Amino acid sequence: MSNILTCRNVTKVFGSKVAVNDVTLDIPRGKIVGLLGPNASGKSTFIKLCNDLLTPTSGEILIDGNRPGIETKKIVSYLPERNYLNDWMKVSDIIGLFRDFYSDFNEEKAYDMLKKLNINPKDKLKTMSKGTKEKVQLILVMSREAQLYMLDEPIGGVDPAARDYILDTILSNYNENATIIISTHLISDIEKILDEVVFIKEGKIVLTKTVDEIREETGKSVDSLFREVFKC
Amino acid sequence: MLAKLMKYEIKGTARIFIPLYLLLLLFALLNRIINPFSLLENSDNFNLQVLFSIISVTVYFILIIGTFVMTLIIMIQRFYKNLLGDEGYLMFTLPVKSWQHIVSKLIISMLWTILSFITAICSILILVNVDNLSEVLSLFISKFTDIFGTAGFFTLPYYALIALISNILMIYGAIALGHTFSKHKLMASFGMYCILYVIYQVVMLLFILLFGKKNITSIVTSAAPSVLQINTLILELSIPLIIILVANFILTNTILRKKLNLE
Amino acid sequence: MPWELKSDRPIYSQLIEQIELRICSGVYPLGSKLPSVRDLAQEAAVNPNTMQRALSKLEEDGLLYSNRTSGRFVTEDVNMINQVKNKLAKEHVQIFLKKMTELGFDYEEILSIITTLAEEMKK
């Protein structure tokens, strides 16, 4: 089975700043991969490049053999750091939108998850707290039966209980034909659910290993190693 | 996909326009019933009724102007906020081509512009008690066909439509260009609009000087320009508009495809 | 029984230990059917692939066996389980003895401490 994501010498330059620097990466299917790095290390930029929200300055990105575009958008489910929901909509409206545009959207699953979190689908998004809106976004993204999930800081601004719920949701949605890429700087919470980690520093990949390889070789958790590698 | 985009575009905007239109029509009706103009004419002293009439007329005028201002604001806001703001993260990850985003917003903006226009006219018709409406209408039609002929019923709306599309796309183009600036995007958009407008004027002028001179001079110098001459002129003048329209479309689409940079 | 996974040791080996523990202590009784890999991974909050590898290793070792259609089961071989029990016991005792000798106790003292405490725990 070919890799779901292939990057060859991908570089993105903004003016004088090199945000992503010559990244070459292969990610197979059925893995949960952590893209780890401090703020402004290029993680979000890289993910945006994969989602056709930015165009690479040079290099190539292939998702399931296609360049980022309509075909890849059909199979990639992206959770951005931002809140992207239109305020005036009700939860049921945005679910309708996802159902209309994405053929792999599982509406039943979405309503199921909303129920479990006590979120009323008839509520207007603008009346919800930030945390609840983030949960709604996560539910929308995870209700798609995509081949590649890209989650940008899914547990960033959320309380510990919600973090556990999010990680649990990620695990329960896992299937061996899909890959989940999680970018975060909160490592200790998620390292156990990761297959592999990719450390990214100033736009460059500095390490690619499995979690157990790191623990075996260094006798440390990934979180500890991260603190060492990225010491200020 | 285009139809779906338009559906959500309407959903996102109808909640502002429908109440506005209803309010406008309501106030037109209110003013017709109260008949403030005759009241103002006939009363000598300033009393509550007069005050009420003045307020109700003022509100009506504010509403009518407001309707058009709102149409413009919403047109800009939909493009700026929904595509280039945070909502852009949702929009541009939908499996949809960027030109479909532009076209869906263009069509719905056109829809609201035309509807605003129609509602305004209806409100005026409600407000002003026009006796013998059919007489006035047939008078208007005969005067119209004298100058423009029956062809005028096609060429003028066609020109108006092209002008509308061209102007909307110019606004989109300006917003898209403003987006490429790293700071002060909104101000940059205004600036870009001014520049685009100047270019638009230059293109129109150049076109008229190069191709339209003959037709215009013959119309101006003749005592009674023929229907054919007038309509040909209208069609000719639509050509530079089409050029600008296409240019702005390509500009906007290219920026959205290649130069997108959501914060 | 909560899953105790330390952060500085490979998850894979810890999962093997934790499952062995559950088998020995009867959380997963003899011959019983194990939950699916997905469910186990969710319970333990670990990566399903890692859980899968741990389970495969235990299959290799004979503690588990799988039936292609009905899933994974704990072995019915009591001897095997006793072997694992003894192995784990040995490991725990070795660690304990090491710590106690570090503290300076000799074997007689250790034995008497154990006997006294065991009596107290019975009450």
CA dist A141 and A130 (Å) reads 17
Structure tokens given for A213: 């390889």
Residue B188: per-residue pLDDT = 92
> Residue B187, exposed/middle/buried by CB under 10 A (0-12, 13-18, 19+)?
exposed
Mean pLDDT of chain B: 87
The number of domains in chain A is 1
> Please, which pLDDT band fits residue B125 given cuts at 50, 70 and 90?
confident
What does the DSSP 8-state code read for residue A97?
Answer: H
> Please, which pLDDT band fits residue C22 given cuts at 50, 70 and 90?
very high
In terms of residue numbers, what domain contains A179?
Answer: 5-229
Residue B211: per-residue pLDDT = 78
Do B56 and B81 lie in one domain? The reply is yes
How many degrees, rounded to 5, is the angle at CA B257 between CA B254 and CA B261? 110
- Averaged pLDDT, B139-147: 83
Structure tokens given for B163: 């002008």
- Which of the two residues, B172 and B44, has the higher pLDDT score? B172
Residue B46: per-residue pLDDT = 65
Residue B43 pLDDT > 70: no
User: Token pair 């949809």 is at which residue?
Assistant: B96
Residue A173: per-residue pLDDT = 85
Residue B38: per-residue pLDDT = 62
Do B136 and B263 lie in one domain? The reply is yes
CA dist C59 and C74 (Å) reads 9
Q: How many CB pairs under 8 A join A and B?
A: 59
Q: Are A107 and A95 in contact (CB under 8 A)?
A: yes
The amino acid present at A212, given as its one-letter code, is D
CA dist B242 and B170 (Å) reads 12
Considering only the beta carbons, identify the residue of B11, B95, B258 that sits closest to A101: B95
Determine the 3-state secondary structure of B182 from DSSP: coil
Do B208 and B81 lie in one domain? The reply is no
User: Token pair 């495969």 is at which residue?
Assistant: C56
Q: How far is CA A180 from CA A5, A80, A118, A151, A208, in A?
A: 11, 14, 26, 8, 16
Do B208 and B124 lie in one domain? The reply is no
HEC string of chain C? CCCCCCCCCCHHHHHHHHHHHHHHCCCCCCCCECCCHHHHHHHHCCCHHHHHHHHHHHHHHCCEEEECCCEEEECCCHHHHHHHHHHHHHHHHHHHHHHHHHHCCCHHHHHHHHHHHHHHHHC
Residues 6+ apart with CB under 8 A from A43: A35, A36, A37, A152, A183, A200
Q: Does B182 contact A15 at a Cβ distance shorter than 8 Å?
A: yes
pLDDT per residue over B214-253, tens digit each?
777 777 777 677 778 788 888 888 999 999 999 999 999 9
Residue B104: per-residue pLDDT = 96
Q: Which of B95, B129, B163 is the last residue of a domain?
A: B129
Q: A211: nearest CA in chain C?
A: C10
Do B10 and B117 lie in one domain? The reply is yes
Tens-of-pLDDT digits for all 232 residues of chain A?
A: 579 999 999 999 998 899 999 999 999 999 999 999 988 889 999 999 999 999 999 999 999 999 999 999 999 999 998 889 988 899 999 999 999 999 999 999 999 999 988 899 999 998 998 888 888 999 999 999 999 999 999 988 778 888 888 899 889 888 888 999 999 888 888 999 999 999 999 999 999 999 999 999 998 899 999 999 888 7
Q: Are B179 and B172 in contact (CB under 8 A)?
A: no
Q: H/E element holding A107?
A: helix A107-116
CA dist C19 and A41 (Å) reads 39
CA dist B163 and B238 (Å) reads 8
Min Cα–Cα distance to chain A from B85, Å: 9
CATH number of the domain at A121, please: 3.40.50.300
Q: Which of B96, B129, B162 is the last residue of a domain?
A: B129
> What is the bridge-based pairing of β-strands A58-63 and A76-79?
unpaired
Do B145 and B111 lie in one domain? The reply is no
> Please, which pLDDT band fits residue B36 given cuts at 50, 70 and 90?
low
pLDDT per residue over C32-79, tens digit each?
999 999 999 999 999 999 999 999 999 999 899 988 888 899 988 888
Q: Which of B49-63, C14-28, C100-114 has the lowest mean pLDDT?
A: B49-63
- Percent of chain B surpassing pLDDT 90: 51
Neighbours of A163 (CB within 10 A): 16
Q: Does A93 touch chain B (CB under 8 A)?
A: yes
Residue B80 pLDDT > 70: yes
Do B143 and B84 lie in one domain? The reply is no
Q: Which of B129, B153, B174 is the last residue of a domain?
A: B129
Q: How far is CA B208 from CA B142, B197, B202, B233, in A?
A: 30, 17, 10, 10
Residue B37: per-residue pLDDT = 61
For B105-140, give one letter per residue: b (16+ CB within 10 A) or e. bbbbbeebbeebeebbeebeebbeeeeeeeeeeeee
Residue B131: per-residue pLDDT = 66
Q: Are B80 and B171 in contact (CB under 8 A)?
A: no
Min Cα–Cα distance to chain A from C116, Å: 37
Do B208 and B100 lie in one domain? The reply is no
The number of domains in chain B is 2
- Averaged pLDDT, C6-22: 92
Residue B111 pLDDT > 90: yes
Neighbours of C21 (CB within 10 A): 17
Q: With a threshold of 0.85, tell me whether the complex ipTM lies above it.
A: yes
**Within its chain, how far is the Cα of A27 from the centroid?**
13
Q: B254: nearest CA in chain A?
A: A55
Do B183 and B249 lie in one domain? The reply is yes
Residue B40: per-residue pLDDT = 60
CA dist A67 and B226 (Å) reads 57
In terms of residue numbers, what domain contains B194?
Answer: 132-263
Residue B45 pLDDT > 70: no
Q: Does C47 contact A194 at a Cβ distance shorter than 8 Å?
A: yes
Residue B42: per-residue pLDDT = 62
Residue A97: per-residue pLDDT = 95
Selection from A216, A228, A208 nearest residue A31 by Cα: A208
Q: Which residues of chain B approach chain A closer than 8 Å at the C-beta?
A: 1, 4, 7-8, 11-12, 15, 82, 86-90, 92-97, 182, 257-262
Q: B2: nearest CA in chain A?
A: A101
Do B212 and B108 lie in one domain? The reply is no
Q: Are A203 and A24 in contact (CB under 8 A)?
A: no
Neighbours of B36 (CB within 10 A): 22
Residue B52 pLDDT > 80: no
Residue A74: per-residue pLDDT = 96
Do B19 and B97 lie in one domain? The reply is yes
Do B116 and B146 lie in one domain? The reply is no
Min Cα–Cα distance to chain B from A163, Å: 23
Q: How far apart are the first and last CA of chain A?
A: 40
Contact partners of A by the rule of 3+ C-beta pairs under 8 A? B, C
> Please, which pLDDT band fits residue B44 given cuts at 50, 70 and 90?
low
Residue B24 pLDDT > 80: yes
Residue B191 pLDDT > 90: yes
Min Cα–Cα distance to chain A from C24, Å: 24
Residue C96 pLDDT > 70: yes
Length of chain C: 123
Q: H/E element holding A59?
A: strand A58-63
